[in-house]
Copies of this chain bind each other. A is one copy, B any other.
Amino acid sequence: MATETATVNVVTADALLKSWQGHRRLTRRVIDAFPEEKLFQFSVGGMRPFSEMAWEFIRMAVPIVDGVATGKWEEFNKGEKPTTKSEILRLWDEQTAALDKKFPEIPPHRFYEVDKAFGQWEMPGIITIQYAIDNEIHHRGQGYVYLRALGIEPPPFWERD
């Protein structure tokens, strides 16, 4: 790669947070598009229901940002596994606010520093954060198939406001 382009900064920390929160607004709409019962019980091909995927996103987002920020990797401990859509959405909104507060507290050097996330996954902080975002996009896409299979029009992919 031409050196000039190779090293150019294309994403700043605040741009990454904005992009992630845009994805999270869309994911929230996907959660909300499911009828209560289907959110917890419906799936295709023997996969998990979408409530389990949403619960995974909740357990990853803030604990990963905390781990990258502090080097302390602690499992999500802000609530039990939700059993209703409103409880998922309440936890979701709490984590959204926590992300806005905590992400800016990541010390700049920690984005590059290699650490072992949750004692298992060894990579630079930015790669761990990007993995959480990509994982959310990946499984949310699966939620779109569930909604289509239920005859429900999913929210537009390109709307992030």
Q: Which residues of A come within 8 Å of B, CB atoms? A: 1-2, 4-17, 19, 23, 44-47, 103-108, 111, 126, 130-131, 134-135, 137-142, 144-151, 157-158
Flag if A7 contacts B12 (CB, 8 Å): yes
**A11 interface neighbour in B16, B108, B137, Cβ under 8 Å:** B16
Number of copies: 2
Flag if A12 contacts B8 (CB, 8 Å): yes
**A141 interface neighbour in B15, B105, B139, B149, Cβ under 8 Å:** B139
Q: How far is the CA of A144 from the CA of B147 in the complex (A)?
A: 15
> Interface on chain A toward B: helix, strand, loop, or mixed SS?
helix
**A108 interface neighbour in B4, B46, B108, Cβ under 8 Å:** B4
Flag if B47 contacts A148 (CB, 8 Å): yes
Supply 5 further A-B pairs (C-beta < 8 A) apart from A7-B14, A138-B140.
A5-B108, A8-B13, A11-B126, A44-B44, A138-B144
A-B contact pairs, 24 of them (CB 8 A): A1-B14, A5-B13, A5-B106, A5-B108, A6-B14, A6-B104, A7-B13, A8-B111, A9-B9, A9-B11, A10-B126, A11-B130, A44-B44, A44-B149, A45-B148, A45-B151, A47-B145, A135-B157, A138-B138, A138-B140, A138-B157, A140-B141, A141-B142, A145-B145
Residues of B within 8 A of A47 (CB): 145, 148
Flag if A148 contacts B108 (CB, 8 Å): no
**A148 interface neighbour in B46, B107, B139, Cβ under 8 Å:** B46
